[in-house]
Amino acid sequence: MRNREISEMPLEYPAKIALVTGASSGIGLAITHMLLLKGWSVYALARREFTLPEGSGRLIRVSCDLLDPKALRSAVDRILDEMSALDLLVNCAGIGLFGPHEQLKPEDLSEMLRLNLEVPILLCRLTLRALKASKGKIINISSVTAEKDSVFGCAYAGSKAGLSKFSKSLLEEVRKSGVGVSVIQPDLTRTEFYESLDFEPDADPAAALLPGQVADAVAYILDAPENLVVEELTLRPQINRIRRKNTGTTRHGTPVPPS
Ligand SMILES: NC(=O)c1ccc[n+]([C@@H]2O[C@H](COP(=O)([O-])OP(=O)(O)OC[C@H]3O[C@@H](n4cnc5c(N)ncnc54)[C@H](OP(=O)(O)O)[C@@H]3O)[C@@H](O)[C@H]2O)c1
């Protein structure tokens, strides 16, 4: 049981099994919580420890740095080895780098592009056989910037545009096998995503989504009838307003240049 911790087992073993990345925080944590409440077994990948209130499901935390190719491969191999089936893959882990493109560090850009685009593509590759066997689903968490030009977030938007395009292309490739591929494109959502950035959603509740609202979109996709695949869902808050942290000034649009 190296690198992992298994929580209390419920009396009744749940039937559906999910693999969720980015499960320790924000949107991924909310999705994991929703799945546990619905009775799923969730293999939750992240580097950090985290806790969740008990649902009727089973939480299996797997500590893994997704940017370490060997650790990623061995985590997935171990999970596929041990579970009877896989019904759902949620690619949620991601980071954002914002600022004038010429000022961003090449090594930081490389990490973001790998985490936001390469890792989800690899995870789909590594789990597709199991998902085909169960006629399961893939849900990729992209961003509204996949389709919206993003000044000072060009590379982030590029990584998310790539993820959205990959998701839609993969759906065309695998839909005849009964696998559903969906992409969710949230706009500003109140999470730790903004902790290292110099802007954040405005405090007005109408200026940002809550992580649970993205989890509700995942639940909607999962509850869809068998003949229906939700290809893409874009979620936007009612108003579009961000706050610059150092000055407290607000403006419409996202993102803002670093100070
Ligand atoms: N918040 C927004 O406004 C917003 C809007 C649109 C789209 N999104 C997308 O939503 C997704 C989730 O973001 P969030 O807002 O929930 O941010 P968050 O709260 O910062 O969560 C990011 C998650 O990614 C994981 N992660 C980061 N680097 C990792 C690594 N090297 N290995 C393994 N896990 C790693 C983190 O886990 P550990 O640190 O524990 O490893 C954490 O669980 C991202 O793909 C983001 O691009 C967010």
Residue 124 C-alpha to ligand 1 middle, in angstroms? 18
Contact assessment for residue 159 and residue 141, using Cβ atoms and an 8 Å cutoff: no
Share of the chain above pLDDT 70, in %: 89
What distances in angstroms separate CA 85 from CA 18, 35, 119, one per listed residue?
Answer: 9, 16, 21
pLDDT (tens digit per residue) in 77-119: 999 998 879 999 999 999 999 999 999 999 999 999 999 999 9
Quick check: is 258 in a domain?
no
More confident residue, 14 or 241: 241
Q: Which tokens hold the place of 54?
A: 């008990």
Mean pLDDT of 165-172: 98
Quick check: is 38 in a domain?
yes
pTM over 0.85: yes
Between CA 230 and CA 39 the distance in angstroms is 22
Q: Is the CB of residue 192 below 6 angstroms from any atom belonging to ligand 1?
A: yes
Quick check: is 103 in a domain?
yes
Range of the domain at 106: 4-252
Q: What is the CATH number of the domain that holds 242?
A: 3.40.50.720
Q: Please state the domain count of the chain.
A: 1
Cis peptide before 255 (omega within 30 of 0): yes
Quick check: is 40 in a domain?
yes
Helices (H) and strands (E) in the chain, counts: 6, 11
Closest of 171, 103, 180 to residue 134, by C-alpha:
180
Question: Which residues are known to be catalytic?
Answer: 142, 156, 160
Pairing of strands 88-91, 250-252: unpaired
Q: Is the CB of residue 49 below 6 angstroms from any atom belonging to ligand 1?
A: no
Question: Based on the number of CB atoms within 10 Å of its own CB, is 218 exposed (0-12), middle (13-18) or buried (19 or more)?
Answer: buried
pLDDT band at 5 (very low <50, low <70, confident <90, very high): very low
Please say if the pLDDT value at position 258 is more than 70: no
Residue with the smallest CA separation from ligand 1 atom 46 is 94
Quick check: is 257 in a domain?
no
Between CA 229 and CA 223 the distance in angstroms is 10
Between CA 124 and CA 191 the distance in angstroms is 25
Quick check: is 259 in a domain?
no
Q: Is the CB of residue 195 below 6 angstroms from any atom belonging to ligand 1?
A: no
Between CA 219 and CA 79 the distance in angstroms is 23
- Closest ligand 1 atom to residue 28 Cα is 16
Residue 226 C-alpha to ligand 1 middle, in angstroms? 30
Please say if the pLDDT value at position 249 is more than 90: no
Quick check: is 183 in a domain?
yes
Please say if the pLDDT value at position 19 is more than 70: yes
Question: Tokens 């089973």 appear where?
Answer: 58
Quick check: is 72 in a domain?
yes
Closest of 139, 166, 153 to residue 96, by C-alpha:
153
Q: Which tokens hold the place of 160?
A: 């998310």
Residue 251, pLDDT score: 54
Strand order in the sheet with 4-6: 4-6, 58-63, 41-46, 17-21, 88-91, 137-141, 180-186, 232-235
Residue 202 C-alpha to ligand 1 middle, in angstroms? 20
